Amino acid sequence: MSALGIRKSDIVVVKQGKDKGKTGKVLAVFPDKGRAIIERVNFVKEFIRPDRAKNVQGGIMEKEAPLPLSRLMLYCEECGRGVRVRMRRLEDGTKTRICPKCETSFEKQK
């Protein structure tokens, strides 16, 4: 788990940079690099060369690039904004991530 408590398939909000204020779903987290890829956020252009052997036409393609974890905050649906995460230990000994404002859990119910 990363230092900020952001995991795959969380909803986050970007708090800094060219995509400030946008929300999206986390597609991948790279904790060793301290970065994450967010759905429909931080698009960059990638130039593809044509290759007849692989039947690739070539051209300009847009894709999501990784963002630093320090620019992201977990999005709380109850509060309607990005919040810092608090960890709480439950009675059975497991840890869960909660919103400090409204005390809602970010863990998915199974």
Give the model confidence (pLDDT) of 17-48 as tens digits.
999 999 999 999 999 999 999 999 999 999 99
d(CA 80, CA 98): 14
**What's this model's pTM, rounded to 2 decimal places?**
0.84
Which residues, 6+ apart, have CB-to-CB distance to 86 below 8 Å? 97, 98, 99, 100
The answer to whether residue 96 scores a pLDDT higher than 70 is yes
Which residue is associated with the tokens 């970007």?
14
Which residue is associated with the tokens 């059975």?
92
Q: Is 83 part of a structural domain of the chain?
A: yes
Give the model confidence (pLDDT) of 41-93 as tens digits.
999 999 999 999 999 999 999 999 999 999 999 999 999 999 999 999 999 99
- How many domains in the chain? 1
Residue 77's domain spans which residues?
Answer: 11-51+60-98
Q: Is 110 part of a structural domain of the chain?
A: no
Q: Is 20 part of a structural domain of the chain?
A: yes
In the predicted model, what is the mean pLDDT of residues 1-10? 76
Record the tokens describing residue 55, joined without a space: 């039947």
Query: In this structure, what CATH number is given to the domain that contains residue 93?
Result: 2.30.30.30
d(CA 69, CA 18): 15
Which residues, 6+ apart, have CB-to-CB distance to 93 below 8 Å? none
